[in-house]
Structure 1
Amino acid sequence: VFPAPIPACILARNSQGATAVAHSIEQVRNIALTGHNGAGKTTLAEAIIFNTRQLTRLGRVEDGTTISDYDSEEIERKISLRSSLLTGEVGGYHFDVIDTPGYADFLPQAQSALRVADGSVVVIDAVSGVDVGTERVWRFAAESSLPRLIFLNKLDRADVDVEGTMEQVRERFGREAVALQLPVGAGGG
């Protein structure tokens, strides 16, 4: 008989090899980053882990230096082909960020990630807006009764249309999509 709470064993890799770290279930959060291809999920995952001080440098998809796209084909094509797990610690909580591919051919990877996630961050490119892939991952998360958060990405681009993208979000996802925070200014390169 296990004492409550039952510990979860999380494996973390470092440069010396794999080590096991125990956390109670209440201290673990699994978040899937989902969205259409090119929305910036891998870059966001990298930034999240970098800002928890788990990384000493911020990798870039363009340079082939992100920790989640490590396969030679992913580096060459500059896309995620499979889901990858990135881990971090903040405020006594252990979290797993699951970076999922966005291309339609690889959407089953996102579906699998959502089966083990506590919630989904749906990443939307604020320039190109909501597309079919975005709608599909939103529906996958809804079918699993997962909480969803929309993250508008690429707000620094000169051709961004935040209002237009927000209108698309309202049209496609209805009243359950509510803006919690909007940028003061957007664009400008």
Structure 2
Amino acid sequence: MYLHQASLIEQLIQVNYKLDMRLSIMEAKFYNKQEDTPTTNEVSINTESNEPPAKRRRTSGATNLKDAWFTWYTQEPRMWSSTDAGTKYAHSTAKQVVAFLKLFLPDGFKPHEKSPRCRDEVLKLGETAEVELLAYLRGRDITARGAQNVLKSMRKLHKSGHLNDQVRRYQKLQAANCIEDPAPAHTMKH
């Protein structure tokens, strides 16, 4: 129960952080429109400095793999049934991250959706898969940790055939009925 509450609190903190960032961006745009245009002295001062322009700030933190896993299997309404165009990118990313994480579950998984500990079980499975996947990447000298960077690295490895052993092992687990995925079949293709 504690893990479930902790994960929900973490999700709420992330949502609040993202909302705060959005508000800051909108306020900056609003106040920049109201300011007068810079004077010629200010423009000349800005062009005289040969410093490179400041890098853009990241708008949100990197998403943990276990968070993508947890959201995929516990969020209501389910991500795979969402038709909202605004979440299409997040849906696609989560789907692919979860597909790669499944390859690194040592014993398969059978979430019991009716169980009161289901969310805790899903979180533990996500943590296990994340640890295994990141260890696999470290073994290949890949330091990616966030969902986007891991996804990019895993796509390259999959395309080059480095994940074939993991895919075969996953298929054997499926054939042995060690995997019962509540997500529809179209979300499970590798």
Q: TM-score, normalised by structure 1?
A: 0.26
Q: Answer 1 or 2: higher relative contact order, Cα 8 Å, separation at least 6.
A: 2
**Structure with greater strand share of residues:** 1
**Bigger helix fraction:** 2
Between Structure 1 and Structure 2, whose CA radius of gyration is higher? 2
With structure 2 as the length reference, what TM-score do the two structures score?
A: 0.26
